[in-house]
């Protein structure tokens, strides 16, 4: 049996985004969080088939646009990545929104503005256009907050390490320079890929954050190696996700977590702008829209601005006769 998926492929700040424009499964659920659970239970083979080799690669990510579940929103987004079906993905949102608008898959109720449902909650989007293209997307993300500070772990091959844990749509272990980690370039991609699974495993053994409004969002999934910028209001990161990926973009949910992290220590104020560069030096502009309260926790509402570009249309088959129909990882 052959399943056909009509995709728009592209990237946001260098990280891949595969919008599945045709072939999405019908999902059950009264919210995108419930639809995510249904997708994971019944259709995860679509994610692995489209994201893993031989149809994808270690960094592959993307998603689907669904009809909204509520009358006050424009659409729902579901994210698929090598790392799973994330509650929220910033670079994914920028890419999915760009490609969906450019191909008429989302018709905004108000030009330049969208309200979208994602598994992590409701997000706002504003965008600009020019020459028939979407030129820039700003996400008003779900509230971000710091879940734990000063978590002491021992990382094989590195030694003692102290990390903080912050939420920006996913839970991040934030590693700042310490011990043998002096800068991203000195540490290098290979060592980041070697150390990050160990950091994540050690943090998971030490703490298990659970989102106060949705228990299906739990546990540290990503590691953000933070590097202070050369000037105030700027920084760089390497975000590790899945089993082998360093985000090529500055990571929207990671940037949101970092904004909350810096704000919690008084290093950024509400209204402040923060230019966040990725490992490959592509850039998102982050900002703190306002302070808020998330079920009794001090939190912020992050703004993330970036842009995406499509690289082509891709009709992909997942054929059950293919021994690798569900994809593979080595």
Residue 33 interacts with ligand PYC (CB under 6 A): yes or no: no
| Count of residues interacting with ligand PYC (CB under 6 A) | 10
Task: Using CB under 6 A, pick the residue from 48, 82, 138, 253 that binds ligand PYC.
Answer: 253
51 is catalytic: no
Q: For ligand PYC, which stretch binds (CB under 6 A), given 110-118, 156-164, 246-254, 318-326?
A: 246-254
Main-chain phi, psi angles of 45, to 5 degrees: -65, -25
Q: Is 296 exposed, middle or buried (0-12, 13-18, 19+ CB in 10 A)?
A: exposed
Annotated catalytic residue within 51, 207, 251, 290:
251
Instruction: Give the position of tokens 């891709």.
Output: 314
Task: Using CB under 6 A, pick the residue from 10, 87, 252, 327 that binds ligand PYC.
Answer: 252
The set of long-range contacts for 286-290, using a CB threshold of 8 Å and a minimum separation of 24, is: 286/255, 286/256, 286/258, 286/259, 287/259, 288/259, 288/263, 289/140
Per the CB < 8 A criterion, the answer to whether 116 and 75 are in contact is yes
H-assigned helices in the chain: 32-42, 44-51, 90-102, 184-206, 252-264
Q: For ligand PYC, which stretch binds (CB under 6 A), given 23-31, 64-72, 87-95, 204-212?
A: 87-95
H-assigned helices in 207-281: 252-264
- The radius of gyration of the chain from alpha carbons, rounded to an integer in Å, stands at 19
Residue 172 interacts with ligand PYC (CB under 6 A): yes or no: no
251 is catalytic: yes
Which residues, in sequence order, are bridge partners of residue 19? 8, 63
Task: Using CB under 6 A, pick the residue from 10, 16, 87, 90 that binds ligand PYC.
Answer: 90
Q: Pick between residue 227 and residue 247 the one whose CB is nearest to ligand PYC.
A: 247
Per the CB < 8 A criterion, the answer to whether 123 and 113 are in contact is no
Task: Using CB under 6 A, pick the residue from 251, 288, 300, 318 that binds ligand PYC.
Answer: 251
Annotated catalytic residue within 7, 51, 85, 89:
89
Residue 282 interacts with ligand PYC (CB under 6 A): yes or no: no
Residue 36 interacts with ligand PYC (CB under 6 A): yes or no: no
Residues annotated as catalytic are: 89, 251
Residues near ligand PYC (CB under 6 A)? 86, 89-91, 241, 247, 249, 251-253
């Amino acid at each position: 049996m052959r399943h056909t998926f009509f995709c728009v492929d592209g990237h946001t700040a260098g990280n891949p985004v595969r919008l599945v424009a045709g072939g999405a499964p019908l999902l059950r659920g009264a919210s995108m969080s419930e639809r995510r659970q249904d997708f994971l239970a019944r259709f995860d083979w679509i994610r692995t088939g489209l994201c893993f080799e031989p149809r994808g690669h270690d960094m592959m990510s993307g998603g689907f646009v669904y009809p909204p579940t509520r009358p006050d929103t424009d659409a729902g987004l579901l994210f698929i990545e090598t790392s799973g079906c994330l509650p929220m993905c910033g670079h994914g949102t920028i890419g999915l929104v760009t490609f969906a608008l450019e191909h008429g898959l989302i018709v905004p109720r108000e030009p330049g503005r969208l309200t979208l449902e994602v598994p992590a909650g409701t997000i706002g989007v504003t965008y600009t256009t020019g020459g028939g293209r979407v030129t820039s997307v700003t996400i008003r993300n779900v509230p971000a907050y710091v879940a734990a500070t000063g978590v002491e772990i021992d990382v094989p091959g590195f030694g003692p390490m102290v990390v903080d844990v912050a939420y920006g749509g996913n839970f991040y272990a934030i590693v700042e320079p310490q011990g043998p980690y002096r800068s991203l370039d000195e540490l290098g991609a290979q060592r980041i890929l070697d150390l990050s699974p160990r950091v994540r495993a050690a943090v998971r053994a030490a703490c298990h954050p659970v989102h106060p409004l949705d228990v299906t969002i739990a546990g540290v999934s990503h590691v953000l190696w933070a590097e202070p910028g050369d000037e105030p209001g700027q920084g760089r990161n390497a975000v590790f996700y899945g089993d082998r990926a360093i985000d090529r973009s500055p990571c929207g949910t990671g940037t949101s977590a970092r904004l909350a992290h810096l704000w919690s220590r008084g290093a950024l104020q509400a209204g402040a702008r923060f230019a966040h560069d990725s490992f490959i030096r592509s850039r998102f502009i982050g900002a703190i829209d306002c302070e808020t309260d998330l079920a009794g926790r001090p939190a912020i509402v992050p703004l993330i601005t970036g842009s995406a570009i499509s690289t082509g249309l891709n009709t992909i088959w997942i054929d059950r006769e293919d021994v690798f129909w569900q994809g593979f990882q080595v």
